[in-house]
Structure 1
Amino acid sequence: VYARNLHRSSVYTPQLVVDGQVDSLGDPQAVARALSEHRDGVLVTVTVRDAQVRVELGAHLGAPDSDVVLVTYLRHSVSAIGRGENAGRNLEEFNIVRGIRTLGTWQGEVRGFDVPVSALPPDATDAAVLVQPHRQAPIIGAAAHALRSSGVTVRAAQP
């Protein structure tokens, strides 16, 4: 899908995609230009208070009907490898998605969503909210917030 959206004849792994429309291999000038040209986003705020995640979206006249998606993730994990060619080594991973849930549809109005932290995966350390028009359109709003401490999760090797 992204190759078509980026008007590419083949698939490759870009280092950065801005608004699902501009890709870059990391050239700092191209990145700065792409970011400055794509600023018409939706205001999204995420707060965590009293064991609740609160997502608020600002009004945006003419915004297309969009999904509001909550992505929970584990910021950092280290797994000990017990078997195979990498036995005895540690695998370090970052931003591991632990859950994805659609909170609802947003139609350009001021809107809020509440999710109890207890309803989220227990090992998730952070949450990101993505606002995306239906059918794989570019993301028009996003925000992230820590859910709990940023300590590293260490998993032992399984025999």
Structure 2
Amino acid sequence: MLVRLVAVASFLIVAPVVASARPVVVELFTSEGCSSCPPADAFLSELSRDRPELLPLAFHVTYWNSLGWQDPYSLEAATQRQAEYSARFGDSPYTPEMVIDGQKGLVGSNRRAAEAAIAKAQKADEAEVAVSAVRHGRTISVTVGRGAGHAQVVLVGYDAGHVTNVARGENTGRTLRESNIVRSIQTVGEWTGAPLKLESATPAGEQAAILIQSTDGAIIGAARVASIGL
């Protein structure tokens, strides 16, 4: 546990630092071929830069690729993930869509709605599970605490940022600056309430995060992967 040392007169008082709540996961489904997406991409970049209490992730979908511009960061796994959310929410996939903690979908450029959903997620008193992950070289060690429920342990690899000059499609001539671009996503284990430890190879991407996602789609645990020994 991290501690803070405070000197008072000739005495040392050791005060534990209270661990912060786990980050609220903000998923943006986007595409470089979508002219409505850059404002949402910019919003996600702001959240990535200014809001450490959040875990923003940009999932680039594939269904825009046949419409003039091949998004270099598009993933079929991102398209499938959005389709699963759409089935739960009862709507059709669209961009830009933002999903908050796996439970609320909204237009990704609607800052007011997004902030309201984030605030609601931060105040939620639903069951949460503790999770931590550490990268040792090419291996990631994951620890999930005790709780109630059944969930998937999802490993996400992402790049901090990229700049793309778009030559075709709806964003022709634009320079897009995007953040926290997901490069890989995979289920690496199942959690059934008992404490769990597992290891996985490091995913594609500069950074990584672990999501604990229950069978109803709600994210009940999340952590950035810390790196040591690099």
Common topology (TM > 0.5): yes
Which residue number corresponds to residue 124 of structure 2?
37
Partner of 2:206: 125
Structure 1 residue 138 corresponds to structure 2 residue 225: no
C-alpha deviation, 1:91, in angstroms: 2.1
Query: Out of 72, 96, 119, which is 2:157 matched to?
Result: 72
Distance apart, 1:80 and its partner CA:
3.1
Secondary structure of the residue aligned to 2:193 is coil
- Give the structure with the higher percent helix: 2
Q: Residues 4-38 of structure 1: CA distance to partner in whole angstroms, max 9, x if unpaired?
A: 756x889887766345159770455x643442223
Match of 2:103 in 1: 20
Match of 2:194 in 1: 109
| Residues 31-52 of structure 1: CA deviation (Å, up to 9, x unaligned) | 4344222352110101112432
Q: 2-side partners of 1:9 and 1:52: how far apart?
A: 38
Deviations 1:120-153 (A, max 9, x none): 22xx11112111223x4311111112669xxxxx
RMSD: 3.3
Given that 1:19 and 1:140 are in contact with CA atoms closer than 8 Å, whether structure 2 keeps it comes out as no
Superposed structure 1 runs of 4+ greater than 3 Å apart: 1-6, 8-16, 21-24, 30-34, 83-87
What is the match of residue 86 of structure 1?
172
CA distance, structure 2, for counterparts of residue 19 and residue 96 of structure 1: 18
Query: Equivalent pairs: percent with the same residue?
Result: 28
Alpha carbons 2:133, 2:226 under 8 Å: kept? no
Matched residue of 2:119: which SS? helix
**Could you say which residue in structure 2 is the equivalent of 1:153?**
none
Normalising by structure 2, we get a TM-score of 0.48
**Which consecutive residues of structure 2, in runs of 5 or more, have no partner in the other structure?**
1-83, 107-111
Q: Which runs of 5+ in 1 are unaligned?
A: 149-159
In 2, Cα distance between equivalents of 1:50 and 1:2: 33
CA deviations 1:69-121 (Å, max 9, x no partner) are: 1111112011234x34734x53212121111111121111111121233xx22
The alignment partner of 1:40 has SS state of coil
C-alpha contact (below 8 Å) 2:85/2:102 kept by paired residues = no
Whether the aligned pair in 1 keeps the contact of 2:154 and 2:186 (CA below 8 Å) is: yes
Equivalent residue pairs, number: 137
Give the TM-score, by structure 1 length.
0.65
